[in-house]
């Protein structure tokens, strides 16, 4: 007979799972600090255990009902049952714990930039299909959770989801996946992979500005446009763009606030994507160089440069580590790397260049701390702030300011 344990959840780990200590550490999905639950151990490896909840005997004082009927199955909203103020506290503590453990410094999070909206903030979703059922993957599997709407995406996207589901139901098509993007300027993009009649699909969605089927643009336009802090940006199929349509402008305003009071001659913007940061800071710097390895993103960046009338920005297509050693005499460096953070060659070159300031934007606080630990040899960590780009999930965007030691 399987042992059933009655436990009280102590805290959340960095992935939003409940933690309890009972003859080792037990990780319990779908729980909150203070929950009293009956659990069943599902995995036990070297004292590290995972468990499922059988019954909730008492709910946490921070518990709230989920507005999403799919949240227990879908892997997207890890902490949706946690009240929003506690979500922010959880994220602050998470970053400060990493600072203490990895940097071994007494640095507190300076600012917590909150999202204007807890729900309907995402401007993008990718849905998968199985035998005409469309939805999101379950946690830790490729099993499909069929959905009619997502609580995190904009209502424009939710309306398009229902229309696509109806189209699939009424037509002889085989679709593998669908990506939907939208902007605050109310421009939409649908990206489809599968076997279907291109012209028929296009006619069904004539109000959608951009439709791409199997990587072929079937509409007159191939870009949608977004506005951030009075600048406009084109978004294409493959290029990366921040997903929170409310908080993105606050993130970039924070970057500007960190650099606007000094005069810089040359700025290096690494992993520049579609050129958003490069173009936004170009008002405060004489010359900006942006480097990005994704070709479509650089194409967009060059178009965005023309769109915003900037002649003091130069974009370079290639890997950061392949181009950074060509630079010196740079007094400001901004980095916004992928989740893996900075490679050793890039960090060595940041130390070699020795710019007066580095602004580090990160989507993974663990790799941020690892990189800051390497850079603090020559740099003082002046502040670390967090930006809640992903409400109801454990993900955090962080911004760190570093100044060259004298």
Q: What pTM did the predictor assign? A: 0.94
CATH no., domain 124-225: 2.40.50.1070
**Dihedrals phi, psi of 372, to nearest 5 degrees:** -65, -35
Alpha helix ranges (H) inside 68-180 = 84-98, 155-170
Residue pair 248/214 in contact (Cβ under 8 Å)? The answer is no
pLDDT single digits (tens) 281-332: 999 999 999 999 999 899 999 999 999 999 999 999 999 999 999 999 999 9
Same fold for the pair 86-117+243-404 and 124-225: no
CA angle 359, 363, 367 (to 5 degrees): 80
Percent of the chain surpassing pLDDT 70: 100
pLDDT single digits (tens) 184-212: 999 999 999 999 999 999 999 999 999 99
Tell me whether residue 209 is exposed, middle or buried, using C-beta atoms within 10 angstroms of its C-beta: 0 to 12, 13 to 18, 19 or more: buried
pLDDT single digits (tens) 219-277: 999 999 999 998 999 999 988 889 998 999 999 999 999 999 998 999 999 999 999 99
Q: Which CATH architecture has domain 4-63?
A: Beta Barrel (2.40)
CATH no., domain 86-117+243-404: 3.40.50.150
Q: Is 29 left (phi over 0), alpha (psi -120 to 50) or beta?
A: beta
Q: Band of the pLDDT at 1, cuts 50, 70, 90? A: very low
- Residue 405 has what pLDDT? 95
Domain ranges of the chain: 4-63, 86-117+243-404, 124-225
């Amino acid at each position: 007979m399987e042992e059933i344990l009655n436990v009280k959840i102590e805290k959340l780990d960095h992935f939003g799972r409940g933690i309890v200590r009972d003859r080792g550490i037990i990780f319990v999905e779908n729980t909150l600090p203070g929950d009293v639950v009956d659990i069943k151990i599902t995995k036990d490896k070297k004292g590290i255990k995972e468990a499922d909840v059988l019954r909730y005997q008492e709910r946490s004082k921070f518990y709230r009902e989920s507005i999403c009927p799919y949240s227990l199955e879908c892997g997207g909203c890890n902490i949706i049952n946690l009240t929003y103020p506690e979500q922010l506290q959880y994220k602050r503590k998470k970053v400060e714990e990493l600072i203490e453990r990895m940097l071994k410094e007494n640095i507190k999070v300076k600012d917590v930039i909150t999202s204007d909206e807890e729900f309907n903030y995402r401007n993008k979703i990718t849905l998968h299909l199985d035998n005409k059922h469309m939805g999101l993957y379950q946690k830790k599997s490729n099993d499909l959770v069929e959905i009619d709407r997502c609580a995190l995406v904009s209502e424009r996207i939710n309306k398009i989801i229902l229309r696509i589901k109806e189209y699939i139901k009424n037509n002889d098509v085989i679709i593998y996946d669908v990506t939907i993007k939208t902007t605050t300027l109310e421009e939409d993009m649908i990206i489809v992979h599968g076997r279907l009649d291109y012209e028929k699909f296009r006619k069904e969605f004539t109000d959608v500005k951009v439709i791409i089927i199997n990587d072929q643009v079937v509409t007159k336009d191939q870009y949608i446009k977004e506005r951030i802090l009075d600048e406009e940006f084109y978004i294409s199929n493959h290029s990366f763009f921040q997903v929170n349509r409310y908080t993105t402008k606050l993130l970039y305003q924070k970057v500007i606030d960190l650099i606007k009071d000094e005069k810089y001659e040359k700025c290096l913007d690494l992993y520049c994507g579609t050129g958003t940061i490069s173009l936004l800071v170009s008002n405060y710097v004489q010359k900006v160089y942006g480097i990005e390895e994704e070709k479509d993103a650089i194409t967009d960046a060059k178009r965005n440069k023309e769109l915003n009338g900037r002649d003091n920005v130069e974009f370079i297509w290639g890997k950061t580590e392949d181009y950074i050693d060509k630079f010196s005499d740079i007094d400001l460096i901004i980095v916004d790397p992928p989740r893996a953070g900075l490679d050793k060659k890039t960090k060595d070159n940041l130390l070699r260049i020795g710019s007066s300031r580095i602004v580090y934007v990160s989507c993974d606080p663990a790799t941020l701390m690892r990189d800051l630990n390497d850079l603090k040899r020559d740099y003082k960590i002046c502040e670390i702030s967090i930006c809640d780009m992903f409400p109801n999930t454990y993900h955090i965007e962080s911004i760190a300011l570093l100044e060259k030691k004298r």
